[in-house]
C-alpha cells in the first residue's frame, strides 16, 4: 500500500510540473517598437532685402519691320525680287494682273466720253443754262470715277515700305508664294526689316518678362564697360510655333558700349527692404494653394502664404509669415 501511494504521488507531481511548463510556453512576448526620429533640413524665414532682377543677353539689331501686304485681290503676274534681298523704300516687289480693273476703266472711259459729248453738244446747240449745268455735274462725277479707277491700278503693284531686308512669307505648304498664285486683299507677301537704325535689343521667346514695362531701368555690362539704360519699346512678333518679345533699350551713354558682341542686360525691376524672405525651393503649390511646411516643436505644420517679388534664389512672403519661423526644405 505504501508503495502504491508513493507512485501515485510521484505521478501527480510530474503532471503538475508538465502543466506549469505548458502555461509558460503559451505566453506571447510583445516587442516595443521605437519610432525612428525624422530629420528635416530647415532654414529660417529671414527679414532681409530682395530685388527682382532678370539677367539677359543683349545685342545690337534691327527690331522693327513692316508687313508687305496686297492692296487688291487677284492673280500674281510677276515677282520682281528674290528673297531675301536688300530693298529701298518704293522698290517694286510684285505685280498682279489688273484685268478686271482694266475692264472697269474702259467702261468708265466710255461713260466719261459720253458725258463730255453731251456737254459739248449742249454748248454747240445753245442749250439752256440749267441743262448745261446738270450735264457739267454729270461730267465731273464721271471724271472723278474714272480718275479713281486709274489711281487704283497702282494697288496691283506691291512696293517695299521702307529701306531694309525683304523676306517673303512662307505659305501653308512651306514654299514662298509664286507667279500665278491667287491672293486676296490683305494677304501678306512678306516683311521688310527696317535697317535705318540699330538698337540694343533683348529677345525673349514665348514668355514675357514679368513687371518689365516701358521705362524699366536696366544695367548694362560689356566686359569692363558698363552703363545704364531704359526700356523704350517692346516689340511682339509671332512666327509659327513660337513668339518673340523684343525689348528695345536706349543706353544712357551709348559711347560706353560697343555695337558688336554680347551685352549683359540686368532688368532692375524693384526692391523691397526689410521684408520676409525665404528660399524659392521651400514653397509648395497644390490645388491652387501656396504654402510652406513649418517645424513647430518637432511637428510638421502647413502654413498658407502669399508671395511677392523674387530673385534668382529667394522669394518675398507678403503674408503668412512674420519672420523667424523654422521652414522645412526637404
Give residue-wise pLDDT tens across range 107-120. 999 999 999 999 99
> Which pLDDT band, with edges at 50, 70 and 90, does 271 fall under?
confident
Q: Which residues pair with 127 in a beta bridge?
A: none
Cell 529667394: give the residue: 314
Position 330 pLDDT exceeds 90: no
Kindly write down the DSSP assignment for every residue of 88-105, as one continuous string: -TT-EEEEE--HHHHHHH
> Which pLDDT band, with edges at 50, 70 and 90, does 28 fall under?
low
pLDDT of the residue at 13? 47
0.75 surpassed by pTM: no
Minimum mean pLDDT range among 16-25, 85-94, 176-185, 320-329: 16-25
Minimum mean pLDDT range among 115-119, 169-173, 309-313: 169-173
Minimum mean pLDDT range among 24-38, 106-120, 178-192: 24-38
Identify the residue with better confidence: 173 or 248.
248
Give the whole-angstrom CA distance, residue 50 versus residue 309: 8
Size of the chain in residues: 330
pLDDT of the residue at 175? 66
CA atoms within 13 A on the CB side of 17: 6
Minimum mean pLDDT range among 37-41, 153-157, 218-222: 37-41
> Which pLDDT band, with edges at 50, 70 and 90, does 258 fall under?
confident
Cell 532682377: give the residue: 53
Mean pLDDT of 81-86: 90
Where b means 16+ CB within 10 Å and e means fewer, 122-141 reads beeeebeeeeeeebeebbee
Mean pLDDT of 167-194: 82
Mean pLDDT of 259-270: 84
pLDDT tens readout for residues 66-78: 889 999 999 999 9
Mean pLDDT of 140-166: 93
pLDDT of the residue at 29? 58
Position 27 pLDDT exceeds 80: no
Position 9 pLDDT exceeds 70: no
Over the Cα atoms of the chain, what is R_g? 44
**What H or E segment, with its residue span, contains residue 56?**
strand 46-61
Identify the residue with better confidence: 230 or 257.
230
Minimum mean pLDDT range among 167-181, 241-255, 289-303: 167-181
Position 64 pLDDT exceeds 50: yes
pLDDT of the residue at 126? 87
> Which pLDDT band, with edges at 50, 70 and 90, does 240 fall under?
low
Position 5 pLDDT exceeds 50: no
The rounded mean pLDDT for the chain is 85
**What H or E segment, with its residue span, contains residue 52?**
strand 46-61
pLDDT of the residue at 31? 57
Amino acid at each position: 500500500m505504501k508503495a502504491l501511494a508513493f507512485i501515485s504521488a510521484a505521478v501527480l507531481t510530474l503532471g503538475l510540473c508538465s502543466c506549469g511548463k505548458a502555461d509558460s510556453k503559451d505566453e506571447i512576448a510583445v516587442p516595443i517598437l521605437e519610432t525612428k526620429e525624422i530629420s528635416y533640413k530647415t532654414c529660417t524665414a529671414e527679414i532681409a532685402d530682395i530685388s527682382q532682377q532678370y539677367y539677359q543677353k543683349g545685342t545690337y539689331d534691327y527690331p522693327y519691320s513692316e508687313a508687305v501686304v496686297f492692296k487688291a485681290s487677284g492673280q500674281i503676274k510677276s515677282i520682281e525680287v528674290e528673297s531675301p534681298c536688300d530693298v529701298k523704300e518704293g522698290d517694286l516687289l510684285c505685280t498682279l494682273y489688273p484685268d478686271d480693273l482694266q475692264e472697269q476703266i474702259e467702261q468708265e472711259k466710255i461713260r466719261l466720253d459720253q458725258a463730255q459729248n453731251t456737254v459739248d453738244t449742249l454748248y454747240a446747240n445753245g442749250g439752256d443754262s440749267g441743262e448745261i449745268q446738270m450735264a457739267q455735274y454729270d461730267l465731273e462725277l464721271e471724271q472723278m470715277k474714272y480718275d479713281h479707277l486709274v489711281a487704283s491700278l497702282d494697288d496691283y503693284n506691291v512696293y517695299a515700305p521702307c529701306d531694309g531686308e525683304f523676306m517673303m512669307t512662307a505659305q501653308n505648304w512651306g514654299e514662298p508664294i509664286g507667279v500665278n498664285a491667287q491672293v486676296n486683299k490683305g494677304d501678306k507677301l512678306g516683311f521688310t526689316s527696317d535697317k535705318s537704325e540699330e538698337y540694343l535689343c533683348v529677345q525673349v521667346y514665348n514668355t514675357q518678362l514679368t513687371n518689365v514695362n516701358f521705362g524699366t531701368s536696366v544695367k548694362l555690362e560689356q566686359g569692363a564697360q558698363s552703363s545704364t539704360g531704359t526700356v523704350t519699346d517692346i516689340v511682339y512678333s509671332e512666327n509659327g510655333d513660337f513668339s518673340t518679345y523684343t525689348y528695345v533699350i536706349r543706353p544712357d551713354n551709348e559711347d560706353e558700349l560697343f555695337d558688336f558682341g554680347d551685352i549683359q542686360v540686368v532688368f532692375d525691376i524693384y526692391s523691397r527692404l526689410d521684408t520676409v524672405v525665404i528660399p524659392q525651393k521651400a514653397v509648395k503649390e497644390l490645388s491652387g494653394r501656396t504654402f510652406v511646411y513649418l517645424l513647430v516643436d518637432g511637428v510638421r505644420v502647413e502654413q498658407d502664404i502669399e508671395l511677392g517679388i523674387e530673385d534668382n534664389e529667394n522669394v518675398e512672403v507678403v503674408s503668412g509669415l512674420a519672420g523667424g519661423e523654422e521652414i522645412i526644405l526637404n
